[in-house]
Amino acid sequence: MIGYGFTEQMHAFGRWKTDLMSAVERYRKWLEQNNMIGPETELRLFEMIESLKNDQLNIAFVAEFARGKTELINTIFFSEFGMRLLPSEPGRTTMCPTELFYDRTFQKSYLRLLPIETRLEDASIQELKKRASNWTTIILDTRSPEKMAEVFMEVVRTKRVTTEEALRLGLYDPVQDADKTRNEGYVDIPKWRHALISFPHPMLMEGLSILDTPGLNALGSEPELTLSMLPSAQAVIFVLAADSGVTKSDMEMWDHHVQALTGDARHGRIVVLNKVDTLWDELKSDEAIAETIRNQCLSAANQLQVDVNNVVPVSAQKGLVGKVRQDLALEKRSNIQALEDLLAKDILPKKQIILRENVLSEIGNMVNESRSIIVGRLNEANKQIKELQNLSGKNQDVIHHLLQKTREEQVIYHKSLENFQISKKIFESEHKTLLGLLSLDELDRLMDDTRKQMAGTWTTMGLKNSMRDLFNLMNQKVMEISKQVNKTNTLLQRIYKKFNEEHKLGEARPRLFSMSKYKLEMERLHREAEAYRKSPLTTMTEQSFVIKKFFISLASQARSTFYQANAEVENWQKLALHSLVSRLKEHKDQMKKRLDSLRRISESRELLQERIDELDANAEILNTQLADINMLIETVNRPLDAFLDDEKSAA
């Protein structure tokens, strides 16, 4: 091993996550100790920790077949097996998309395979993942890499079927694939549609998830890959090969499947120029070879229109050989380290930022909220101490007067709480309208209608029109929803403003709902649909099957977006008023306590000093709590660099 590889960085990242989880856990304990935790908060913190535990770093390898994707995966992630773990040999290329990860819910290591015939079903791969019965499961013997490698050969398996069968499965195009039918009416198609591999490899256990894809054909015929799997990958690694240069199909792949993933700057994209060993000419000087490689990178960067520094020349195969044989010179020459460095320096920090933002947006507010409640209590205690100190030496009338005044305040406050109940009802009714607009039943009905309409139409034009109609309807819906979101947000802000001002509650801030994430996703799907609708590929031939397939993926992606929005809106009902409700309750409790102590003092003057001492002691406790929470806030906000420095000095 040379230098500081991706493996080490990945482990450091794992430790950082553990640190974050224990900070959240400490906060939960703190809330518990201070009697400030309700079942909702408890649940949210629990979910936060769970989502950190389940968090994955998704890296997808995309390229035309035989560029060396699988070999790269072997070299970067699995070289310590001392062999080639995943099949990468001439003529034996990965035939189905393969996901490698660690499944915490299943005790055994496995390879799960989805038969290609499931393409005929309406369910998406995402849905099929939930149905174990559709998959063929092979348990892995992790003690023997050789046996594992043997089992993994399944992912390259093909089967020979008649052209009619292939056509039925949408895997054969009479025009484009004419040359494939050399075997008189028979073609070879992948045996499996999708593969899932889970085993307890340290990096996979840390949350790494790798997606290996076959070439362009599979991507084209499995729209779910393009529509949901690739966009959700944290990093996409696009692979070119030095011996084939940038071909037309490489460009097609880049344009459509990689370049198209625009928008989020936090998505890493790395271009690899693989197989540079094919340029290692013994009759040439090292400088001349380096020059040739450099030129190829420049030309590739030029064609793909990326910065040349983002094109990494490597030899996956020599890298693997170098690592396995511990031939440092060969490993170094393979330049695989440069790619690992880029992954570590570019992809992981981006991932950390995303996670931190998620955590902060979830609990940052909560922690600040807890803090201002403590501050409020402290202010109240100090106010009361002053009030009581002023009373000493005064006559009974003054005390009675104060008691009277406080009682009046309490009555006014209770009246105002009744007003709050009215505001709350209005909010709840707007919220209900919003939830109704997001109803999945209605969406499903819409999609069902379109599906029925499509079933009756077999022309490409007709199918495309149905798809366009559906998207127009969905766009309308999204607009309606946005309007209702704005209306509900405005109402919420007004309620907060009113009660904040009336009762000087400090800065209780409403938690507004944001549609932007969902809107962006729907816009992306719409763009995909339009691009698909207009692409020449789909107008050339009557590909009703392929279009239906595409539609199903698109619809299921849209549905899951609606589903998420729906769940978030539902959850929002309680969160929206939470801050205000807890302040109002806090205020009510404080008022009651104050009144009680005044009443007791009015009955017996001796209690005055006792009560002042009690309040002093309480203020002391509150000060400690404040110091505690300040420290917690510091931990959560601790900059990433500080943490990475810790890692370095610990290493």
Ligand X SMILES: Nc1nc2c(ncn2[C@@H]2O[C@H](COP(=O)(O)OP(=O)(O)O)[C@@H](O)[C@H]2O)c(=O)[nH]1
Q: Which of ligand X, Mg ion, none does residue 524 bind to, with CB < 5 to 8 Å depending on kind?
A: none
Q: Min. distance of Cβ 526 from ligand X in angstroms?
A: 32
Q: Which of Mg ion, ligand X, none does residue 533 bind to, with CB < 5 to 8 Å depending on kind?
A: none
Tokens 């989805």, residue? 114
Q: Min. distance of Cβ 317 from ligand X in angstroms?
A: 3
Contact 232, 224 (CB under 8 A): no
The site that binds Mg ion (CB under 5 A) totals a number of residues, namely: 3
Beta bridge pairs of residue 196: 99, 112
Q: Min. distance of Cβ 69 from Mg ion in angstroms?
A: 5
Beta bridge pairs of residue 235: 59, 268
Considering only the stretches 91-99, 122-130, 411-419, 579-587, report the one whose residues sit in contact with Mg ion under the rule CB under 5 A. Answer: 91-99
Q: Which of ligand X, Mg ion, none does residue 275 bind to, with CB < 5 to 8 Å depending on kind?
A: ligand X
Give the whole-angstrom CA distance, residue 262 versus residue 522.
14
Give Dmax (Cα) for the chain: 113
CA 125 to chain centre: 18
Is residue 94 close enough to count as binding Mg ion by CB under 5 A? yes
Q: Min. distance of Cβ 66 from ligand X in angstroms?
A: 4
Cβ proximity to ligand X: between 83 and 375 the closer is: 83
Q: Which of Mg ion, ligand X, none does residue 589 bind to, with CB < 5 to 8 Å depending on kind?
A: none
Give the whole-angstrom CA distance, residue 370 versus residue 31.
8
Q: Which of Mg ion, ligand X, none does residue 278 bind to, with CB < 5 to 8 Å depending on kind?
A: ligand X
Question: Residues 217-256 vs Mg ion: string with x where CB under 5 A?
Answer: ----------------------------------------
Give the whole-angstrom CA distance, residue 498 versus residue 427.
14
Contact 630, 637 (CB under 8 A): no
- Which of residues 9, 41, 58, 70 is near Mg ion by CB under 5 A? 70
Is residue 213 close enough to count as binding Mg ion by CB under 5 A? no
| Residue 476 CB neighbours (<10 A) | 10
Q: Which of Mg ion, ligand X, none does residue 369 bind to, with CB < 5 to 8 Å depending on kind?
A: none
Q: Count CA atoms within 13 Å of residue 152 on its CB side.
A: 28
Supply φ then ψ for residue 130, to 5 degrees: -85, -10
Among candidates 288, 112, 139, 251, which has minimal Cα distance to 194?
112
Q: Min. distance of Cβ 152 from Mg ion in angstroms?
A: 11
Q: Min. distance of Cβ 313 from ligand X in angstroms?
A: 10
Q: Which of ligand X, Mg ion, none does residue 71 bind to, with CB < 5 to 8 Å depending on kind?
A: ligand X
Q: Min. distance of Cβ 517 from Mg ion in angstroms?
A: 33
Supply φ then ψ for residue 89, to 5 degrees: -140, 160
Is residue 317 close enough to count as binding Mg ion by CB under 5 A? no
Q: Which of ligand X, Mg ion, none does residue 89 bind to, with CB < 5 to 8 Å depending on kind?
A: ligand X
Give the whole-angstrom CA distance, residue 51 versus residue 53.
5
Q: Which residues contact 322 (CB under 8 A, 6 or more apart)?
A: 328, 329, 330, 331, 332, 333, 334, 336
Cβ proximity to ligand X: between 63 and 577 the closer is: 63
DSSP 287: H
Q: Min. distance of Cβ 269 from ligand X in angstroms?
A: 17
Q: Min. distance of Cβ 132 from ligand X in angstroms?
A: 28
Give the whole-angstrom CA distance, residue 27 versus residue 48.
12
SS3 341: helix
Cβ proximity to ligand X: between 125 and 316 the closer is: 316
Helix and strand totals (H; E) in the chain: 24, 11
Cβ proximity to ligand X: between 268 and 313 the closer is: 313
Give the whole-angstrom CA distance, residue 590 versus residue 503.
13
Contact residues: ligand X, CB under 6 A: 63, 65-71, 88-90, 93-94, 274-275, 277-278, 315-317
Q: Count CA atoms within 13 Å of residue 58 on its CB side.
A: 18
Quote the tokens at residue 420: 């709050």
Cβ proximity to Mg ion: between 155 and 474 the closer is: 155
Give the whole-angstrom CA distance, residue 41 versus residue 35.
12
Cβ proximity to Mg ion: between 68 and 322 the closer is: 68
Q: Which of Mg ion, ligand X, none does residue 476 bind to, with CB < 5 to 8 Å depending on kind?
A: none
Cβ proximity to ligand X: between 69 and 611 the closer is: 69
Query: Nearest to ligand X by Cβ — which residue?
Result: 68
Q: Min. distance of Cβ 109 from Mg ion in angstroms?
A: 21
Cβ proximity to ligand X: between 250 and 380 the closer is: 250
Q: Min. distance of Cβ 43 from ligand X in angstroms?
A: 43
> DSSP secondary structure string, 239-267?
EEETTTBS-HHHHHHIIIIIIT--S-TTS
Considering only the stretches 62-70, 167-175, 522-530, 554-562, report the one whose residues sit in contact with Mg ion under the rule CB under 5 A. Answer: 62-70
**Is 407 exposed, middle or buried (CB count within 10 Å of its CB: 0-12, 13-18, 19+)?**
middle
Cβ proximity to ligand X: between 45 and 316 the closer is: 316
Give the whole-angstrom CA distance, residue 415 versus residue 409.
10
Q: Min. distance of Cβ 68 from ligand X in angstroms?
A: 3
Cβ proximity to ligand X: between 56 and 217 the closer is: 217
Site for Mg ion, rule CB under 5 A? 69-70, 94
